[in-house]
Structure 1
């Protein structure tokens, strides 16, 4: 009776059922005076004490809440606000290159409908966020992996200046001489792209990557573009965490193509000028983002895609995207009005969140050497390898230490022992949770 798009079994797995029971028990024990419960999976800035100030935006936008001005691409005023968001960061998109959606997830759906037929294949990163597989499955598409691999590098110096972490004295004996520490980070295994099935239509990059914190380098970008050109594929970059890079070596991937100095305006018709470098790639490229991370407001349901296409294909592609969007018109008037106002605050909001992320990342690296906690170049998450079975480790941390983490298998790590944590948690709670996890680490070795 149900669609074949859905999994055959929608009930929670035995592990996640057990995890929910353990979480309820930990919270109950904490409420009764036991060890406090710390959620290291928190992904909402609002829940982490980092809300954006809505009052000014609401007052500015209120007059447009009742407007009904249907536009398949989204209100031009809202698209121009997105253009200004990029301009503040060195980008050169124009309003004609912006398509608004109700979320990044919906942007994926629009792209899948526009470029794929049932049975086609999307190339997604492994490890990676499991929602991508679900979104593809709901469109009768398949996912095939390419891989991020852990690479050992010579230490070039710690990105963040180390500070002493109070209440973590037992960890000090594990630190040794950090100047001699080898650095580990995840990198794109470009050779793994060569195993792509013939029906592959879209290569999906996530930068910064959830959960490893990998950011696409210029060399990796060039390899991905070349691969898409040679195989007549679409390149999609999920950059919802794009504002939160930690290192001066991190670049937004559109800078490799359309940053300052590469402006090349082209009349797409009727005086609609778009920035399409004449010597640009031969494959269409889409960058996905939204208010969810840019201003910490997933509840407003506003995302967008900014895109590049070769000049000879641009109008055809834009018309196809607008055809799909016009069938739903799912972006509400309040969302577009608030988005226009809130994006003016995005730079200040980014600074607040990044300060929190950097503080927590520094605490994490002081507690765990790079061998166990690879370098994070950007994003809201970090991974730690403690070398036990993922399920047992996650449940043990929750039951014994009242710390909730995500198991690595949920993200398709190819080895046991990985856990994923959020860097958004309030710093005092974050330090406390890391201290508890570190005691577990100390007892192992």
Structure 2
């Protein structure tokens, strides 16, 4: 007699991330409108290839037609000529980075996963900023690592969210292995300035807690002032990993190339690079074509970024002008990154309820601040600043209409 088959059991990590047939209400409303062919103005469009900001296709085609990448001869750290090209590109920022201190990955998400594998055991703890990027809980859960948030501090005068080492110190425990920083941050635009780094690096060296800096938006700062001043830390003593990639730098998310810059004292750096090389060699996930093409693509960086910067500037200026006359709304852009924030004053609804209402009534899609860890006392909506200008202005008019 054959016993009845039990339901298949998925891993705890997947169940913890919410595997189910359910979807949140905002996603349901959006899907329903798409099914009914109702046009939705997407104010969360963050993929440059879908909003008219793609890398020049003729340059990609020209390099893909070449035959020099047809042979496969992988290097776990990434091809030497690719790492040399990345190192050379940093010289425009007056940074000297040894190509041997770089590890290539297929994305910054993969870079995080490599670092988590390298440094953290199951149930070890990492600290993440709040408000912050909502992908971190997924990445940590997939590695069986515990998360704890540390709060960014809000300045009412400057309307900026700032990093605070004191907030981090209040949250660390004996299980804390890593502190994640994103500068410029998504979505707050928070930055780590030159004057901030000394105390952070001294603390990291003293405690042995590793700092991981994600600077994928580093090229999109200081559009209107010089106050943001994101700064790249250079150290030969504190354990630091810096992440970047071409998804934002070259508007090439589809080409899948990022990197880790390993820093620290010689002993730590040697062991970290060796460990990352073992991890990378187990996956070899970075494709050869993009590695061999990169030296030919990097010279186009300024042209690509100028188009994106001009888009952001025009959308910010439109938002500032349109929302200035609406007393219930406070528009914030911290002069860094791709995102702006709309704060709703004296609201009886949560940010998620507002996002659902706006999508239902005005066919405008944006994200609620709840998803990014904003305090419940703050009713915040998140908007992408690289949305096409016609879409952005039309959506802003609809938002103004609902709050006037």
| Same-fold call, TM cutoff 0.5 | yes
How far, CA to CA, are the matches of 1:314 and 1:396 in structure 2? 51
Paired residue for 2:372? 411
Given that 1:302 and 1:339 are in contact with CA atoms closer than 8 Å, whether structure 2 keeps it comes out as no
Partner of 2:149: 145
Describe the shift of the 1:311–1:40 C-alpha distance in structure 2 as closer, same or farther (beyond 3 A): same
Distance 2:199 2:33 in 1: 47
Report Cα offsets for 1:300-333 as digits up to 9, x if no partner. 1111112222234322221121111111111111
Query: What is the Cα deviation at residue 93 of structure 1?
Result: 0.8
TM-score scaled by length of structure 2: 0.89
1:292 aligns with 2:247: yes
1:391 to 352, 356, 359: 352
Aligned counterpart in structure 2 of residue 439 of structure 1, from 391, 398, 401: 401
Structure 1 equivalent of residue 20 of structure 2:
11
**TM-fit CA distance, 1:339:** 2.6
Partners of 1:208 and 1:377 within 8 A in 2: no
1:85 aligns with 2:63: no
**1:69 paired residue number:** 73
Match for residue 251 of structure 1?
229
* Aligned partners of 1:390 and 1:407 also within 8 Å: yes
User: 1:118, CA displacement in angstroms?
Assistant: 1.1
Q: Which residue of 2 aligns with 1:276?
A: none
Encode CA deviations 1:390-435: one digit per residue, 9 max, x unaligned: 2220011111111100111111111242111100111122112112
| Bigger relative CO (Cα 8 Å, ≥ 6 apart) | 1
Q: Is the 8 A contact 2:183 2:213 kept in 1?
A: yes
Q: Residues 118 and 275 of structure 2 are in contact (CA less than 8 Å); yes or no, is this contact kept in structure 1?
A: yes
| 3-state DSSP of counterpart to 1:372 | strand
Q: Is 1:363 aligned to 2:318, yes or no?
A: yes
* Match status 1:134 vs 2:143: no
CA contact (8 A) 1:186 1:374 kept: no
1:189–1:293 CA distance, 2 compared to 1 (3 A): same
Instruction: Give the corresponding residue for 1:111.
Output: 115
Counterpart in the other structure of 1:302 = 257
Alignment partners' CA distance in 2, 1:47 and 1:251 = 29
Match of 2:388 in 1: 426
Unaligned runs of 5+ in 1: 154-182, 258-279
In the superposition, relative to structure 1, how do residues 435 and 238 fare at CA in structure 2: closer, same or farther (>3 Å)?
same
Unaligned runs of 5+ in 2: 1-8
1:323, 1:311 → 2: CA distance? 18
CA contact (8 A) 2:125 2:177 kept: yes
Counting only pairs closer than 5 Å after superposition, residues 170-319 of structure 1 correspond to structure 2 as 183-194=158-169, 195-246=171-222, 247-254=225-232, 256-257=233-234, 280=235, 282-319=237-274
TM-score (norm. length: structure 1): 0.81
Describe the superposition over 1:257-291 as per-residue Cα deviations: whole angstroms up to 9, x where unpaired.
3xxxxxxxxxxxxxxxxxxxxxx453221111111
- How far is the alpha carbon of 1:25 from its aligned partner? 4.4
Count, aligned residues: 384
Aligned match of 1:380: 338
User: Once the 2 structures are TM-superposed, how far is the Cα of residue 29 of structure 1 from its aligned partner?
Assistant: 6.6
Taking structure 1 as reference, are residues 358 and 382 closer, same or farther at Cα in structure 2, changes over 3 Å only? same
1:44 deviates by 0.4
Q: Give the conservation status (yes or no) of the 8 Å contact 1:215–1:377.
A: no
| Cα deviations by residue, 1:69-118 (Å, 9 ceiling, x for unpaired) | 11111001111111122112322112112110011111111111111111
In 2, Cα distance between the equivalents of 1:128 and 1:13?
24
Say which SS state the counterpart of residue 373 (structure 1) adopts. strand
Contact in 2 for aligned 1:241/1:293 (Cα 8 Å)? yes
Secondary structure class of the residue paired with 1:46: helix
Q: What's the C-alpha RMSD, in Å, of the aligned pairs?
A: 2.0
CA distance in 1, matches of 2:37, 2:203: 52
| Mapping for residues 29-68 of structure 1, pairs under 5 Å | 31=38, 36-61=39-64, 62-68=66-72
Instruction: Quote the offset at 1:52 in angstroms.
Output: 0.6
Shift of residue 30, structure 1, vs aligned partner: 6.5
What's the offset of the Cα at 1:341?
2.2
Q: Distance in 2 between matches of 1:301 and 1:291?
A: 8
